Amino acid sequence: MINNLKEKFSEKIKLFNNNKKYYKNVEIIEKKSQSNQINSGFIITKIGPEGILLDKPGTYIFANDIVWSPKEIIAILIIGDNITLDMKNFSLTCINPNNLETIGIYASFCKNLIIKNGNIIGMGLNGIKSEICENVTIENIIIEKINTNNITVYTTPSAIKLSGCTNIKINKCIVKNITVRVGNFTAFDIVLSNESTIKDCLVNKCVNLDGALVGFSQYLCYDSIVENSNACNLQTFFGNNTKTQGHTCIGFVPFFSENLKFLNCNAKNIIGTCDDTHGFSMFVCVGPILISKCTVDNVQDGVGKNTGAKATGIEIYAENVIVKDCIVSNIMAINPQDKQCTGFSVSGSVGQEAKDVKFINCKAINVNVYDENKKQNSCIGYGTGFGSPPDPRPLFQFPCSNITYENCCAKKCQVGFDSWWQKNSLWKNNISCDCGISILNLNNSQRTVSCNLCSECNPPIVVTLDNVAKNNKFINNKAFYS
């Protein structure tokens, strides 16, 4: 399935990579000497500077809190099948004055792996990392204070990262109190994996001082479910790092992935600087995708720089998607370069239109664009309840078709519903309440948008786009003003 997914997205990835500058980290796994091996069934009371190896079937148990002063980069290396590591609610803390890119627990080529019940504190690169494993369960783990500071090389630390794995279950895990200065930090990072479930998990109080930040991510994944999970209090800053891929701040974002579900999830207090800021982003994905009973509250873009790209509650760059029973509120952008912030948005990208997307029984509340003095005017753009945001980058200048908005409500937005760049689409039984403009339907219009170094354009660009909206239908939509 992974090979099929790679093949399906190969042209899109090629297009994307041709427009991005990537840096590849060289990952080294040091072999552990026999003297560092822990026998199956033994209790773990300490970990030396070289780390320890678990390679025999059985259960390994922490007997106490452990402080690790590393010489190598891995504290616990697991290479074997049918292994359970039970930390018994104790902690593994890394004391890392040399700023090594340390990993708390690394598992490779394992089957039937369980890691549970503990705190992992102060690692440099990953709390838990697993590669090429099958049947992986991670539960009741808290990871905090990952502390990488490296913008010289594009670095991508994450709290929990699984690559090339199958049948993943991550339950009741928390990532919190993270401050890094790197190209990108992701709390829960699933890559090239099949059949993953993340349930009852939390990301809270995470900051990237000069790069991008993501709560939950799936890259090149198939059959993924995220349920009852929250991304709260995330913030990015810009400190002149232009070697990164951007400074986005996003709660939930699958990328080049297929067959996804997001159920009863929430994003709150997502604060971005000069790039995109979103609660949810289905980015270059294909369905079926279901987003159900999710909420987004307080997404802000342009904070500290007085300009950003755009802010969105839930954005869709995908096809065959259903978004239903979702509520987004308090979405705000300061001088957005895309001239818009949106409660719910849909757009095409990477060589194709977005299509077959349905927004059913959704609400967008208090979506607004301001200047740096908290003033509003049409020249700087609109806060739109439901729409399709223009994008200055050629890679993302593709419209959308067969989009349905039904039984949705926009309240206290500058624009309720906007038909920009949408074709053969339907607005039915929707309500606009206390919006400046109920439905904005300006065919043959233009919008001028821009993009700078911080928002992923080097050199900066300014583009005027022609509206291609056509063949749209509006049935039984109503506007109310109090």
CB 308 within 8 A of CB 274: yes
Write down the pLDDT at residue 448: 94
In tens, the pLDDT along 150-168 reads: 888 888 999 999 999 999 9
Can you give the pLDDT at residue 91? Answer: 98
Look up the pTM and report it.
0.93
**How confident is the chain (482 residues) per 10-residue block, as mean pLDDT?**
59 54 29 49 90 94 96 94 97 88 96 98 97 97 94 91 97 97 96 97 97 97 97 94 84 97 98 96 95 98 94 96 98 95 93 91 98 94 94 88 98 98 97 97 92 86 94 97 92
Report yes or no: 391 and 421 within 8 Å, Cβ to Cβ.
Answer: no
Looking at residue 128, its amino acid is I
Closest CA to 32 of 72, 59, 70, 62: 72
pLDDT for the residue numbered 444 = 86
Q: Where are the domains of the chain?
A: 31-147, 159-480
Cβ pair 187, 178 in contact under 8 A = yes
**Rounded to the nearest 5 degrees, what angle is found at the Cα of 206, between the Cα atoms of 103 and 259?**
80
CA 321 – CA 455 distance, rounded (Å): 27
Phi, psi angle pair for 451, to nearest 5°: -160, 135
Residue 349 has a pLDDT of 83
Q: What is the pLDDT of residue 245?
A: 75
Q: Under 8 Å CB-to-CB from 204, ≥6 apart: which residues?
A: 174, 175, 176, 177, 230, 232, 233
Rounded to an integer, what distance in angstroms lies between the CA atom of residue 302 and that of residue 281? 18
Q: What is the per-residue pLDDT for 7?
A: 65
pLDDT of residue 314: 98
Tokens of residue 239, six digits: 């400190």
Q: What is the pLDDT of residues 17-59, one digit of tens each?
A: 554 432 222 233 333 434 466 655 689 999 999 999 999 999 9
The reported pLDDT for the residue numbered 11 is 62
